Chains A and B, each alone.
Chain A
Amino acid sequence: MQTGMQARKYRLQGAGLDLALPYLMLAPGLTIVLGVLVYPLWDGLRASTRAYRYGSPVSHVGFRNYVQLWSDAQFLNSLWVTVKFVALSVSIEAVLGFALALFCLHEFRGIRLLRTVLIIPMVITPVVVAILFRLIYASDAGMLTALSEAMGGGGVQILGNPLNAFIGLVVLDVWEWTPLMFLILLAGLQSLPHEPFEAARVDGAGSWRVFADLTFPMMRPVLAVAIVLRTIDAFGTFDQVFVLTRGGPGEATRLISIYGYDTAFKFQQTGYAAALFVTIGLVVLALAFSAIRLLRRIDAS
Chain B
Amino acid sequence: MSSVLYQKVVKSFGALNVLRSLDLAVPDHKFLALLGPSGCGKTTALRILAGLDMPTAGKVFIGERDVTRLQPRDRDIAMVFQSYALYPQMTVAENIGYPLWIRGTPEAGRKAKIGEVAAVLEIGHLLDRRPRQLSGGQRQRVALARAIVRDPAAFLMDEPLSNLDARLRLTMRGEIKRLCQRLSATTIYVTHDQVEALTMADFVAVMHGGELQQMAPPIEIYDRPANRFVATFVGNPPMNILPAALCEQGVIVAGKVVPLDAARLAACRAASVAEIGLRPEDCSAAGVATPDALPGEIYVVEPMGNETLVNVRLEAGNVQVRAGRDFRGVVGESIGVAFDPANACFFNSDGLTAVHRVNNNGRVT
Using a CB–CB cutoff of 8 Å, the interface residues on chain A facing chain B are 193, 195-196, 198-206, 209, 213-214, 217-218
Contact = CB atoms under 8 A, between A and B. Distances in A.
- If over half of A's interface residues share one DSSP class (helix, strand or loop), that class is named, otherwise mixed; here it is helix
A205 B50 contact: no
B224 interface: no
Interface stretch (B76-84, B214-222, B281-289): B76-84
Instruction: List the 9 closest A-B pairs by CB distance, nearest first.
Output: A195-B85, A199-B85, A217-B89, A203-B99, A204-B73, A204-B102, A201-B72, A202-B79, A202-B72
A196 B103 CA distance: 18
A196 B102 contact: no
Interface of B: 50-52, 71-73, 75, 77-79, 81-90, 98-99, 102-103, 146, 156
Contacts of B81: 195, 198-199
B203 to A, nearest CB: 23
A218 B88 CA distance: 8
Contacts of B52: 198, 201-202
Nearest to A216: B89
Nearest to A205: B102
Interface-centre pick from B83, B87, B90, B99 (highest chain A CB count, 10 A) = B87
Given A201-B73, A202-B50, A202-B52, A209 B102 contact: yes
A201 B74 CA distance: 9
Contacts, number: 63
B87 A196 contact: yes
Contacts of B98: 200, 203, 205, 213
B77 to A, nearest CB: 6
A91 to B, nearest CB: 23
Contacts of B73: 201-206
8 contacts: A195-B84, A198-B50, A198-B85, A199-B79, A203-B73, A203-B78, A204-B102, A209-B102
B66 to A, nearest CB: 18
A199 B50 CA distance: 10
A203 B101 CA distance: 10
B87 to A, nearest CB: 5
B71 A218 contact: no
Contact of B103 (A198, A200, A204, A217): A204
B86 A196 contact: yes
Contacts of A200: 87, 98
A300 to B, nearest CB: 10
Contacts of B87: 196, 199-200, 213-214
A218 B84 CA distance: 16
Contacts of B90: 213
Interface-centre pick from B50, B71, B102 (highest chain A CB count, 10 A) = B102
Contacts of A202: 50-52, 72-73, 75, 77-79, 156
B153 to A, nearest CB: 12
A206 B73 CA distance: 8
A296 to B, nearest CB: 15
A217 B103 CA distance: 20
Contacts of A209: 102
A206 B71 CA distance: 9
A85 B198 CA distance: 67
Given A204-B103, A206-B73, A213-B90, 6 more contacts: A193-B83, A195-B81, A195-B83, A195-B85, A202-B78, A202-B156
A201 B71 contact: yes
A195 B79 CA distance: 11
A217 B84 CA distance: 19
Contact of B99 (A196, A204, A206, A214): A204
A227 B25 CA distance: 53
B277 to A, nearest CB: 40
Given A202-B78, A209-B102, A218 B85 contact: no
A159 B76 CA distance: 59
A218 B77 CA distance: 25
B148 to A, nearest CB: 12
Contacts of A218: 88-89
Interface-centre pick from B72, B77, B156 (highest chain A CB count, 10 A) = B72
A277 B13 CA distance: 60
B297 to A, nearest CB: 51
Contacts of B89: 214, 217-218
A218 B71 CA distance: 24
Contacts of A201: 51-52, 71-73
A192 B156 CA distance: 23
A43 to B, nearest CB: 47
Contacts of A195: 81-85
Nearest to B76: A204
Contacts of B99: 203-204
A195 B103 CA distance: 20
